[in-house]
Amino acid sequence: MRRLPPLTAIEAFIQVARTGSVKAAAQELALSAPALSRRIQALERFIGKPLFERRHQAVALNSDGERLLQQIAPVLDRLTDAVEYMTSGVEVLRLRLGVLPLFASQRIFPHLGDLRARYPQIHLDIDTAGHNMARVGDGLDAAIALARDPDPSLYAKRLDTNNVYVIGARTLLEGPDPVTRPEQIEKLTALIHRDMPDTFSAWRHAAGLDELEPLAIDHFDSGALMLEAAAQGLGIAFMHESHFDEAHDPRLVKLFDIEVASPYSYWFVCRPRAMQLRQVKWFHDWLVEVLKA
């Protein structure tokens, strides 16, 4: 049987690859930075080639490191699950799910009791960091991504279609100069999500106002904070109809009666082979059923 490198070296490699930082990975593994670096160096000597590009403040995988991570990270995750099962005596099917916080809070968490009742073996590790589609297969079993079109190499299931709403504070409809005409956007700040950069241009084109420019554009990476900023009167949010409907916030109103199909949808994505895992398939089927209902 071919000799394998130490498991501690593999664990260190995966942690550094996922965090992009020796210091952060060392903290996660309760090691000193020099001790962790020695484990990485031992793995590189075993393999016979470097796995990282060293930079001043961080490290990044090189092409060999990327290939190794894609091959061994899922195996180590499954090994972790197997040890957890053997030590607890309870079957645990752990699903590492990437999802945007607003989708999770509005459309998943209200129904998690049903998921637990139906599949008590499934336990979710929730990751709300951005760019989750790019990390599927590398630390994530699956992701719910907001995108125009998913990566064609992934299994993808569209979860919804939506309209773009202009969402603002109810106070914008009050006072001597209520906001009732799209042209008044010139005096307002537009709030745009970084994962949905084209919502404003799509809405503006559908409204026949291609030259319309807001007072300013502020970018967010949190839908929940966008809604709160709009409710506080800090700007008008270009978001999805479902974001508005599920917020149930009496401080917010939809501005303008203009129907605009969104160029973005939520997608369930995973590596094609991941659909063979029970926890991925069960969660996928459950989520599709819940959203249809």
Q: What does the pLDDT look like over 184-230, one tens digit per residue? A: 999 999 999 998 999 999 999 988 888 999 999 999 999 999 999 99
Q: Has residue 87 got a pLDDT over 70?
A: no
Average pLDDT of every residue of the chain = 89
Q: Has residue 270 got a pLDDT over 60?
A: yes
Domains (range + CATH), the chain = 7-69 (1.10.10.10), 91-160+265-292 (3.40.190.10), 164-255 (3.40.190.10)
Distance CA 147, CA 145 (A): 6
Q: Has residue 273 got a pLDDT over 80?
A: yes
Across 101-121, average pLDDT: 94
Q: What is the pTM of this model?
A: 0.72
